[in-house]
Protein backbone atom coordinates (compact mmCIF):
# COMPACT_ATOMS: atom_id res chain seq x y z
CA UNK A 1 0.00 0.00 0.00
CA UNK A 2 0.92 3.67 -0.19
CA UNK A 3 -0.38 7.00 -1.40
CA UNK A 4 -0.45 9.03 -4.57
CA UNK A 5 -0.30 12.75 -3.89
CA UNK A 6 -0.71 15.90 -5.96
CA UNK A 7 0.92 19.06 -4.65
CA UNK A 8 -0.98 21.33 -7.03
CA UNK A 9 -4.49 20.73 -5.70
CA UNK A 10 -3.28 19.40 -2.33
CA UNK A 11 -4.96 16.02 -2.60
CA UNK A 12 -4.07 12.38 -2.13
CA UNK A 13 -5.27 8.90 -3.07
CA UNK A 14 -4.89 5.94 -0.73
CA UNK A 15 -3.92 2.90 -2.74
CA UNK A 16 -5.70 -0.37 -2.11
CA UNK A 17 -4.05 -3.78 -1.63
CA UNK A 18 -2.76 -5.15 -4.91
CA UNK A 19 -2.55 -1.74 -6.60
CA UNK A 20 0.75 -0.39 -7.92
CA UNK A 21 1.78 3.19 -8.80
CA UNK A 22 2.37 1.93 -12.35
CA UNK A 23 -1.37 1.23 -12.64
CA UNK A 24 -2.25 4.93 -12.47
CA UNK A 25 -1.86 7.93 -14.75
CA UNK A 26 0.91 10.43 -14.11
CA UNK A 27 -1.35 13.49 -13.89
CA UNK A 28 -4.08 14.46 -11.47
CA UNK A 29 -7.44 15.73 -12.71
CA UNK A 30 -6.24 19.28 -11.99
CA UNK A 31 -3.27 18.83 -14.32
CA UNK A 32 -0.65 18.51 -11.59
CA UNK A 33 1.93 15.76 -11.42
CA UNK A 34 1.18 12.73 -9.27
CA UNK A 35 3.90 11.12 -7.17
CA UNK A 36 4.03 8.13 -4.85
CA UNK A 37 4.81 8.23 -1.11
CA UNK A 38 4.87 5.48 1.51
CA UNK A 39 2.95 7.46 4.13
CA UNK A 40 1.26 10.81 4.69
CA UNK A 41 3.68 12.17 7.29
CA UNK A 42 4.79 14.90 4.86
CA UNK A 43 1.22 15.82 3.96
CA UNK A 44 -0.75 18.56 5.68
CA UNK A 45 -3.90 17.22 7.42
CA UNK A 46 -6.01 19.67 5.41
CA UNK A 47 -5.31 17.79 2.17
CA UNK A 48 -8.38 16.06 0.78
CA UNK A 49 -8.74 12.56 -0.68
CA UNK A 50 -9.42 12.27 -4.43
CA UNK A 51 -9.66 9.53 -7.01
CA UNK A 52 -6.74 9.09 -9.42
CA UNK A 53 -7.59 7.48 -12.73
CA UNK A 54 -5.98 4.21 -13.68
CA UNK A 55 -4.19 3.70 -16.97
CA UNK A 56 -6.28 1.86 -19.59
CA UNK A 57 -5.50 -1.83 -19.94
CA UNK A 58 -4.10 -3.27 -23.15
CA UNK A 59 -7.51 -4.75 -23.90
CA UNK A 60 -9.19 -1.35 -23.55
CA UNK A 61 -6.55 0.33 -25.72
CA UNK A 62 -7.02 -2.31 -28.43
CA UNK A 63 -10.80 -1.90 -28.23
CA UNK A 64 -10.53 1.89 -28.66
CA UNK A 65 -8.19 1.51 -31.64
CA UNK A 66 -10.55 -1.00 -33.25
CA UNK A 67 -13.48 1.37 -32.75
CA UNK A 68 -11.56 4.28 -34.29
CA UNK A 69 -10.48 2.17 -37.27
CA UNK A 70 -14.05 1.02 -37.88
CA UNK A 71 -15.11 4.64 -38.29
CA UNK A 72 -12.56 5.34 -41.07
CA UNK A 73 -14.66 4.01 -44.00
CA UNK A 74 -17.57 6.21 -42.95
CA UNK A 75 -15.29 9.26 -42.70
CA UNK A 76 -13.80 8.58 -46.12
CA UNK A 77 -17.25 8.14 -47.63
CA UNK A 78 -18.45 11.43 -46.14
CA UNK A 79 -15.40 13.31 -47.40
CA UNK A 80 -15.75 11.80 -50.88
CA UNK A 81 -19.42 12.69 -50.84
CA UNK A 82 -18.66 16.31 -49.95
CA UNK A 83 -15.89 16.52 -52.58
CA UNK A 84 -18.01 15.13 -55.43
CA UNK A 85 -21.06 17.19 -54.48
CA UNK A 86 -18.95 20.36 -54.40
CA UNK A 87 -17.07 19.83 -57.66
CA UNK A 88 -19.20 17.51 -59.80
CA UNK A 89 -22.71 17.41 -58.31
CA UNK A 90 -24.33 19.98 -60.60
CA UNK A 91 -22.50 18.74 -63.72
CA UNK A 92 -23.47 15.10 -63.23
CA UNK A 93 -27.07 15.95 -62.40
CA UNK A 94 -27.41 18.09 -65.53
CA UNK A 95 -25.89 15.31 -67.67
CA UNK A 96 -28.29 12.70 -66.33
CA UNK A 97 -31.34 14.93 -66.65
CA UNK A 98 -30.54 16.79 -69.85
CA UNK A 99 -33.60 15.32 -71.57
CA UNK A 100 -36.02 16.44 -68.84
CA UNK A 101 -35.74 19.91 -67.31
CA UNK A 102 -37.25 20.46 -63.87
CA UNK A 103 -37.41 23.88 -62.31
CA UNK A 104 -38.30 25.25 -58.93
CA UNK A 105 -41.25 27.64 -58.57
CA UNK A 106 -38.74 30.49 -58.83
CA UNK A 107 -37.25 29.18 -62.05
CA UNK A 108 -34.02 27.84 -60.61
CA UNK A 109 -33.04 24.45 -62.10
CA UNK A 110 -32.63 21.59 -59.68
CA UNK A 111 -28.99 20.50 -59.35
CA UNK A 112 -27.64 24.04 -59.15
CA UNK A 113 -26.21 25.47 -55.97
CA UNK A 114 -29.78 26.45 -54.92
CA UNK A 115 -31.36 23.09 -55.80
CA UNK A 116 -31.05 19.52 -54.55
CA UNK A 117 -29.22 17.11 -56.87
CA UNK A 118 -28.99 13.32 -56.46
CA UNK A 119 -26.28 11.85 -54.28
CA UNK A 120 -23.79 10.68 -56.89
CA UNK A 121 -21.34 9.12 -54.45
CA UNK A 122 -24.09 7.03 -52.85
CA UNK A 123 -25.08 5.72 -56.27
CA UNK A 124 -21.44 4.76 -56.87
CA UNK A 125 -21.27 3.03 -53.47
CA UNK A 126 -24.39 1.03 -54.32
CA UNK A 127 -22.65 -0.29 -57.44
CA UNK A 128 -19.58 -1.61 -55.61
CA UNK A 129 -20.60 -5.19 -56.36
CA UNK A 130 -20.82 -7.60 -59.29
CA UNK A 131 -24.47 -6.98 -60.06
CA UNK A 132 -25.47 -5.30 -63.33
CA UNK A 133 -22.39 -6.71 -65.09
CA UNK A 134 -23.19 -7.54 -68.71
CA UNK A 135 -20.82 -10.50 -69.05
CA UNK A 136 -21.84 -11.20 -72.65
CA UNK A 137 -20.25 -7.83 -73.45
CA UNK A 138 -17.45 -7.74 -70.89
CA UNK A 139 -15.89 -11.13 -71.74
CA UNK A 140 -15.53 -10.63 -75.53
CA UNK A 141 -14.21 -7.08 -75.13
CA UNK A 142 -11.78 -8.19 -72.40
CA UNK A 143 -10.56 -11.01 -74.65
CA UNK A 144 -10.04 -8.58 -77.54
CA UNK A 145 -8.10 -6.13 -75.37
CA UNK A 146 -6.01 -8.99 -73.96
CA UNK A 147 -5.00 -10.03 -77.47
CA UNK A 148 -4.13 -6.42 -78.34
CA UNK A 149 -1.99 -6.00 -75.24
CA UNK A 150 -0.23 -9.36 -75.61
CA UNK A 151 0.42 -9.58 -79.35
CA UNK A 152 0.41 -6.07 -80.82
CA UNK A 153 2.45 -2.91 -80.46
CA UNK A 154 2.35 0.78 -81.24
CA UNK A 155 -0.80 2.47 -82.45
CA UNK A 156 -2.89 -0.66 -81.90
CA UNK A 157 -2.85 0.13 -78.19
CA UNK A 158 -5.28 2.95 -78.94
CA UNK A 159 -7.88 0.29 -79.71
CA UNK A 160 -7.93 -0.65 -76.02
CA UNK A 161 -9.11 2.83 -75.07
CA UNK A 162 -11.66 2.90 -77.88
CA UNK A 163 -13.10 -0.45 -76.78
CA UNK A 164 -13.35 0.68 -73.15
CA UNK A 165 -15.07 3.89 -74.22
CA UNK A 166 -17.46 1.74 -76.26
CA UNK A 167 -18.33 -0.35 -73.21
CA UNK A 168 -19.31 2.75 -71.26
CA UNK A 169 -21.27 4.09 -74.23
CA UNK A 170 -23.46 0.97 -74.53
CA UNK A 171 -25.16 1.51 -71.14
CA UNK A 172 -27.95 3.94 -70.40
CA UNK A 173 -26.73 4.48 -66.83
CA UNK A 174 -23.33 6.17 -66.67
CA UNK A 175 -22.37 4.59 -63.33
CA UNK A 176 -23.22 1.05 -64.46
CA UNK A 177 -21.44 1.60 -67.77
CA UNK A 178 -18.33 2.84 -65.99
CA UNK A 179 -18.45 -0.18 -63.66
CA UNK A 180 -18.60 -2.58 -66.61
CA UNK A 181 -15.67 -0.77 -68.23
CA UNK A 182 -13.69 -1.02 -64.97
CA UNK A 183 -14.27 -4.79 -64.80
CA UNK A 184 -13.33 -5.12 -68.47
CA UNK A 185 -10.13 -3.11 -68.00
CA UNK A 186 -9.09 -5.01 -64.88
CA UNK A 187 -9.60 -8.45 -66.48
CA UNK A 188 -7.92 -7.57 -69.76
CA UNK A 189 -4.87 -5.85 -68.27
CA UNK A 190 -4.45 -8.69 -65.75
CA UNK A 191 -4.53 -11.35 -68.47
CA UNK A 192 -2.40 -9.21 -70.78
CA UNK A 193 0.35 -8.96 -68.18
CA UNK A 194 0.19 -12.73 -67.66
CA UNK A 195 0.57 -13.49 -71.36
CA UNK A 196 3.47 -11.07 -71.74
CA UNK A 197 5.27 -12.55 -68.73
CA UNK A 198 5.18 -9.33 -66.67
CA UNK A 199 4.54 -11.16 -63.41
CA UNK A 200 6.32 -8.59 -61.24
CA UNK A 201 4.07 -5.84 -62.61
CA UNK A 202 0.87 -7.87 -62.36
CA UNK A 203 -0.75 -5.76 -59.65
CA UNK A 204 0.41 -2.51 -61.25
CA UNK A 205 -1.04 -3.47 -64.65
CA UNK A 206 -4.32 -4.51 -63.04
CA UNK A 207 -4.61 -1.16 -61.26
CA UNK A 208 -3.78 0.57 -64.54
CA UNK A 209 -6.59 -1.39 -66.19
CA UNK A 210 -9.03 -0.29 -63.49
CA UNK A 211 -8.05 3.36 -63.95
CA UNK A 212 -8.28 3.16 -67.74
CA UNK A 213 -11.65 1.44 -67.49
CA UNK A 214 -13.00 4.06 -65.10
CA UNK A 215 -11.85 7.01 -67.21
CA UNK A 216 -12.79 5.56 -70.59
CA UNK A 217 -16.11 4.18 -69.32
CA UNK A 218 -17.06 7.55 -67.90
CA UNK A 219 -16.11 9.25 -71.18
CA UNK A 220 -18.28 6.77 -73.09
CA UNK A 221 -21.24 7.41 -70.79
CA UNK A 222 -20.74 11.16 -71.05
CA UNK A 223 -20.68 11.03 -74.85
CA UNK A 224 -23.91 9.03 -74.89
CA UNK A 225 -25.72 11.46 -72.59
CA UNK A 226 -24.61 14.39 -74.74
CA UNK A 227 -25.82 12.72 -77.93
CA UNK A 228 -29.08 11.58 -76.33
CA UNK A 229 -29.72 15.05 -74.94
CA UNK A 230 -29.66 16.73 -78.34
Q: What local confidence, expressed as pLDDT, does residue 117 receive?
A: 43
Report if pTM > 0.75. Answer: no
Question: What's CA 115's distance to the chain center, in Å?
Answer: 27
Q: What pairing do the DSSP bridges indicate for beta strands 48-49 and 11-14?
A: parallel
Helix spans in the chain (H): 58-70, 72-87, 89-96, 120-126, 135-151, 158-169, 174-195, 202-228
> Residue 94: is its pLDDT beyond 60?
no
Residues 36, 12: Cα–Cα separation, whole Å: 10
> Residue 111: is its pLDDT beyond 50?
no
Which string of b and e fits 94-106 if b means at least 16 CB within 10 Å? bbbbeeeeeeeee
Mind listing the pLDDT tens digit for each residue in 115-151? Answer: 334 455 566 666 667 778 888 999 999 999 988 888 8
Amino acid sequence: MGYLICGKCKSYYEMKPGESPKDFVNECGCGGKVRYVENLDIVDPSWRPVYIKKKPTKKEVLKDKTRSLSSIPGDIKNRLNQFFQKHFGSLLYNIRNRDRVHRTPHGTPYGTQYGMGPDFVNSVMRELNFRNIRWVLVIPVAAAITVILAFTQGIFYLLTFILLVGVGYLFDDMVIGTKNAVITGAISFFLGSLFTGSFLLLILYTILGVINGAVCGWIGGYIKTRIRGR
